[in-house]
Amino acid sequence: MNPGKLDKRITLQQREKTDDGQGGRKPGEWVDVVSVWAEFRTPNVKELALTGSIVSDLVRQVIIRRRPDVCRGWRVLYGTRTFEVQHTFDYDKQTTVLVCREVVK
How far is it, in rounded angstroms, from Cα 84 to Cα 12? 10
Secondary-structure percent of the chain, ordered helix, strand, coil, rounded to 5: 5, 70, 30
Read off the pTM. Answer: 0.79
CB 95 within 8 A of CB 66: yes
Domains and CATH numbers, the chain: 3-103 (2.40.10.270)
For residues 23-32, b (16+ Cβ closer than 10 Å) or e, as one string? Answer: eeeeeeeeee
Digit-coded pLDDT (tens) for 32-85: 999 999 999 988 776 666 566 656 678 899 999 999 999 999 999 999 999 999
Classified as helix, coil or strand, 98 is strand
Predicted pLDDT of residue 4: 74
